[in-house]
Amino acid sequence: MDIKLIVAEFKDLNTILQMQKEAFAELYEKYQDTETSPATEKYEDILFRFNQPETTYYFITADNIKVGVIRIVDCKDGVTRKRISPIFIMPEYRNKGYAQQAIKEAERFHGKQYWMLDTILQEKGNCYLYEKLGYHQTGKTEQINERMTIVFYEKK
C-alpha cells in the first residue's frame, strides 16, 4: 500500500470542501449535528483554518489517487500538543488501512509525541483505530446531542 501525504495548496480548498462534505454526509445523517459536523462547513471555514500558520492540510493519496484528507495543527513550539482535525477517508476507500497509514505518516513528519484528537464516542471503529495507534482517552467528553458524544484522545 503506497500511502503518501501531499500538502494541499490554496487552489485545492474547493476540492477539500467537497470531499469533506461527501465523507461526512453519512455521519451527519446519522447524528444530525448541525453545529459541529464537517459536512455542514462552508468554504470560509476551510479557508480560515488553511490560513492559520500552524495548519497544514494534506491529501491522503494511495497510488496517486486522493482517498482522503488529514489536517494537522502543529505549532512547532515543543510545548503545544499537535492536533489531527479532521481526518477522513472517502467512502469508497474505507476499511483498507489508509487512515492508519496516514496518521503514521503524519507522526513521521511532525513527531510521534504530544498529539490530541477527538472523535464520536458512538463510532466504535474510529475509537478502535485511534487506540490501536497508541491514543488514550483523556476522560473528557462533550455531549453534542442525545445521539452523539465527542470523546477526546491524546498520545503522550
In the predicted model, what is the mean pLDDT of residues 23-35?
Answer: 96
> Which single residue is written with the C-alpha cell 513550539?
77
pLDDT number for residue 30: 97
Q: Where are the alpha helices (DSSP H) in 32-132?
A: 43-50, 98-110, 124-132
Instruction: Work out the number of other CB atoms within 10 angstroms of the CB of residue 10.
Output: 8
This prediction has a pTM of 0.96
In tens, the pLDDT along 82-131 reads 999 999 999 999 999 999 999 999 999 999 989 999 999 999 999 999 99
Instruction: Name the residue among 115, 126, 134 with its Cα closest to residue 150.
Output: 126
